[in-house]
Amino acid sequence: SQAPVKVTVTGAAGQIGYALLFRIASGQMLGPDTPVALSMLEIPQGLKAAEGTAMELQDCAFPLLDSIQITDDATQAFDGTSVALLVGARPRGPGMERGDLLSANGGIFKPQGQALNAGAADDVRVLVVGNPANTNALIASSFAPDIPTTRFSAMTRLDHFRAVGQVAEKLGVPVSDVHKITIWGNHSATQYPDLFHAEVGGRSVADQVEQEWLEGTFIPTVAKRGAAIIDARGASSAASAANAAIMHVNTWVHGTPEGDWTSAAVPSDGSYGVPEGIFSSFPVTASGGEWSIVQGLEIDDFSRGRIDASVKELTEERDAVKALGLL
Ligand code: NAI
């Protein structure tokens, strides 16, 4: 049988970590043929809770779970890792300015990038979930010069699934009928969920809904869903975020279905006028473990304005991180 694949989860004792680890260990991320050697990275205060989660993982007797490592040392956690899920991040506190937030996260993602560079396996894939995810991916990848930039991506799959769910509900169709949804830009309230290329029944979704619903309901519902969940649940999205992370890696490794695409924030190659190097969400396909940006889509003025606004926020984040000496 196959050798175990090392999977590292940072922020393993957090709420997304709790929803994520059991699904990884059960084989839902890498598939039923791949044993997993789990590594859980936490800060010292999180280690005890991580040990509790590890006890529960043991109590599941998952046949695919080869071993569990718990550590507060990034070098150990990333040594030999093939899949790194960077979930732990510094949340925005009350009154915290963007500069403070970026600087606090630079303090996490710079050393993690360096540790990945030093010890990750040659085939490593890195998914950044912790916010601000796009810019944290930029920081981590810039401190891992020996790992191709394209091995890093940031998660907008949750936004993608939120958009799928809203369209399915609006048109009264199963989610499996909704294709070619795109999230463009930043994983933030400026993101642009695009229905002009989305299809249901072989026809553009934009032609099947009113422009007023698209602009006044759909876009704000998707972009502000995170806040709505905090308001209702008293805690931020966790199981849905973990699900999106599972599916992001699963797609990255196993590919997208023929004739469809998904959304992920990948380093721009300049496609669609997005400045090269920033991590921006695009329509992407995956094959052979590599993302490709879907090319040649027509972008009308409405979409252009929305994409540009979100990309502007990303370039500002990049410039702020540069000013902090983090790039
Ligand atoms: P949480 O606060 O429950 O857990 C975060 C965990 O990370 C904590 O246990 C903390 O001790 C740990 N941590 C902090 N710094 C660390 C470090 N340097 N190394 C290792 N572990 C560290 O947060 P939750 O709900 O699990 O969310 C995690 C992140 O995911 C947040 O930044 C959140 O904003 C983000 N998120 C991103 C989404 C996306 O779509 N991209 C969706 C939902 C959440």
pLDDT, residue 28, reads: 98
Q: Is the Cβ atom of 264 under 6 angstroms away from ligand 1?
A: no
Taking a C-beta distance cutoff of 8 angstroms, is the pair 53, 21 a contact?
A: yes
Q: Is 49 annotated as a binding residue?
A: no
Q: Whose CA is nearest to atom 1 of ligand 1?
A: 14
What are 106-152's pLDDT values in tens digits?
999 999 999 999 999 999 999 999 999 999 999 999 999 999 999 99
Cα–Cα distance, 127 to 304 (Å, whole number): 27
Please tell me the distance between residue 212's alpha carbon and the centre of ligand 1 in angstroms: 35
Q: Is the Cβ atom of 70 under 6 angstroms away from ligand 1?
A: no
Q: Is 299 annotated as a binding residue?
A: no
Question: What is the position in ligand 1's atom list of the atom closest to the CA of 131?
Answer: 32
> Token pair for residue 221?
């519902």
Q: Is the Cβ atom of 42 under 6 angstroms away from ligand 1?
A: yes
Which runs of E-coded beta strand occur in 60-216? 65-71, 83-86, 125-128, 152-154, 178-179, 182-184, 192-194, 199-200, 203-204
Taking a C-beta distance cutoff of 8 angstroms, is the pair 179, 259 a contact?
A: yes
Q: Which residue stretches of the chain have pLDDT < 70? A: none
Q: Is the Cβ atom of 15 under 6 angstroms away from ligand 1?
A: yes
Question: What is the position in ligand 1's atom list of the atom closest to the CA of 187?
Answer: 41
pLDDT, residue 1, reads: 72
Burial of 121 (0-12, 13-18, 19+ CB in 10 A): middle
Question: What is the share, in percent, of the chain residues with pLDDT greater than 70?
Answer: 100
Cα–Cα distance, 45 to 253 (Å, whole number): 33
Please tell me the distance between residue 327's alpha carbon and the centre of ligand 1 in angstroms: 22
Instruction: Single out the residue of 84, 164, 100 nearest to residue 132, CA to CA.
Output: 100
Please tell me the distance between residue 177's alpha carbon and the centre of ligand 1 in angstroms: 32
Q: Is 45 annotated as a binding residue?
A: no
Q: Which of 187, 197, 248, 254 is catalytic?
A: 187
pLDDT, residue 103, reads: 94
Q: Is 105 annotated as a binding residue?
A: yes
Active site residue 254: no
Cα–Cα distance, 320 to 99 (Å, whole number): 7
> Token pair for residue 39?
């590594």
pLDDT, residue 145, reads: 98
Question: What is the position in ligand 1's atom list of the atom closest to the CA of 16?
Answer: 26
| Alpha helix positions (H), 184-299 | 211-213, 219-223, 225-233, 239-254
Cα–Cα distance, 108 to 115 (Å, whole number): 11
Question: 222's torsion region: left (phi>0), alpha (psi -120 to 50) or beta?
Answer: alpha
Per-residue buried b or exposed e for 269-288, using 16+ beta carbons within 10 Å of the residue's own CB: eebbebeebbbbbbbbbbee
Cα–Cα distance, 38 to 9 (Å, whole number): 8
pLDDT, residue 91, reads: 85
pLDDT, residue 97, reads: 87
Q: Is the Cβ atom of 133 under 6 angstroms away from ligand 1?
A: yes
Q: Radius of gyration of the chain from Cα atoms?
A: 19
Q: Is the Cβ atom of 324 under 6 angstroms away from ligand 1?
A: no
pLDDT, residue 198, reads: 98
